[in-house]
Amino acid sequence: MTEPHDVLEALLFASDAPVEAALIQEVLELPSADAARALVQDLRTRFEKQDRVLQIIEAGGGFRLVTRPEVAPWLVKLARSKTKSRLSRPALETLAIIAYRQPVSRPEVDAARGVNSEGVLDNLLERRLVRIAGRKDSAGRPFLYETTREFLVAFGLRDLGDLPKVDGELILVDPAAAAETAVGEADARDTAHADAIDAARAAADPVIVEAAASEAAAIGPASAERAERAAETGDVTAATDSHQQDPGPEGTELAPRG
């Protein structure tokens, strides 16, 4: 007759996800979840006494049957002989942002990475490493993303508390505030650029240059000398041309004094 330990080992072997204590209790018709955990511990002790290459670990809220670290080099050789799809650097980067700051929206992930993350998020959704947790109560109501149970299993974590500790804190920039700042900086750059263009046009326009030269010639050295005397004596009238000294009709000689 098949013993409960044999059934439990078969369950753990056949399942591609951690088997929870409540499910073990239900399948084996045990009196409680504690009884299921006790059965798991008993099977784990058997494996250790028999020096098996398999062991039972707790991950993702349940139990899994995995190989021991001692046989890892041979498993690595097996894995290298097969074509295996791995997470890219952008995918790992996006997954880390979600894991440490979940739930998080795509605009927040984009702001943290500095690039569009739509394709990366679709890839993580297909791999079931992240899922949509709802919508953010903000403009556009973007989706919120969080990690899944498969994420815990893939990285051998019991829960999110097992995530490696990092120095500092990941600060996510508010996309709306970042957009307003970018618009303000762009307006300032456009204004400065327009002023520079106007100044360059004024310097290159022969009409403006000629008008400025004519104005300077009209002042003449005599007016400049009177301006200097006015500055020294404080006499404002000395610095201005008298109506009796206005140029004559030809514009080259002074009109006769009255």
Beta-strand pair 54-59/104-105: unpaired
CATH topology assigned to domain 4-79: Arc Repressor Mutant, subunit A (1.10.10)
As given in the structure block, the two tokens for residue 236 are 């404002």
- Provide the pLDDT confidence category of residue 3 given band limits of 50, 70 and 90: confident
**Average pLDDT for the chain:** 76
Instruction: Give yes or no for a contact between 55 and 66, defined as CB atoms under 8 angstroms apart.
Output: yes
pLDDT of residue 255: 47
Q: Is the dihedral of CA 152, 156, 158, 162 positive or negative?
A: negative
Q: Which amino acid belongs to residue 35?
A: A
pLDDT band, residue 2 (cuts 50/70/90): confident
Q: Where are the alpha helices (DSSP H) in 29-174?
A: 33-49, 72-80, 89-101, 106-113, 118-126, 149-154
Q: Mean of the pLDDT values across residues 63-77?
A: 89
Q: How far apart are the first and last CA of the chain?
A: 141
Q: Is the pLDDT of residue 84 over 90?
A: no
The share of the chain scoring above pLDDT 70, in percent, equals: 61
Are the beta carbons of 64 and 12 closer than 8 angstroms?
yes
Instruction: Give DSSP secondary structure letters for 111-131.
Output: HHHTS--HHHHHHHHHTTSEE
- Average pLDDT, integer, range 133-156: 90
User: 258 in helix, strand or coil?
Assistant: coil
pLDDT number for residue 31: 92
What would the two tokens of residue 153 be? 């299993």
Task: Supply the CATH classification number for the domain 89-173.
Answer: 1.10.10.10
Query: What's the pLDDT tens digit per position in 29-67?
Result: 999 999 999 999 999 999 999 989 999 998 888 999 999
User: Over 90: is that where the pLDDT of 231 sits?
Assistant: no
Confidence of residue 170 (pLDDT cuts 50, 70, 90): low
> Across the beta sheet with 130-135, what order do the strands follow?
104-105, 143-147, 130-135
- DSSP summary character for residue 219: H
